[in-house]
């Protein structure tokens, strides 16, 4: 899963596997967003750490959420066997 947010016109991407924000354009903004993350990593009960991180960034800094990738099935695909 991943999330993309914008803060101060800088795009930042959250990588769920690494549990951190990154921004090649402005690493300082990524460090600011990373300061919100739990140093112990994501809680094992959170089904979407990227979404949680994006929402926290929005609550704290007013980031604009561009995209949140989710593994939670949508209404359209729920119950469909592939």
List pLDDT tens digits, range 24-65: 999 999 999 999 999 989 888 889 999 999 999 999 999 999
Given a cut of 60, whether residue 77 has pLDDT beyond it is: no
pTM, entire model: 0.81
Rounded to the nearest angstrom, the gap between the alpha carbon of residue 5 and the centroid of all alpha carbons in its chain is 8
Longest CA span, the chain: 44
Instruction: Please state, in angstroms and rounded to a whole number, the distance separating the CA atoms of residues 30 and 80.
Output: 38
Rounded to the nearest angstrom, the gap between the alpha carbon of residue 21 and the centroid of all alpha carbons in its chain is 8
Instruction: Please state, in angstroms and rounded to a whole number, the distance separating the CA atoms of residues 77 and 17.
Output: 24
* Confidence label for 82 from pLDDT (cuts 50, 70 and 90): very low
């Amino acid at each position: 899963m991943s999330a993309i947010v914008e803060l101060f016109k800088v795009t930042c991407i959250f990588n769920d596997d690494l549990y951190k924000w990154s921004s090649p354009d402005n690493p300082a903004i990524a460090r600011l967003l990373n300061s919100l993350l739990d140093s112990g990593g994501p809680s094992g009960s959170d089904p979407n750490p990227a979404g949680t991180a994006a929402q926290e960034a929005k609550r704290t800094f007013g980031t604009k959420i561009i995209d949140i990738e989710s593994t939670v099935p949508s209404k359209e695909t729920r119950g469909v066997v592939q």
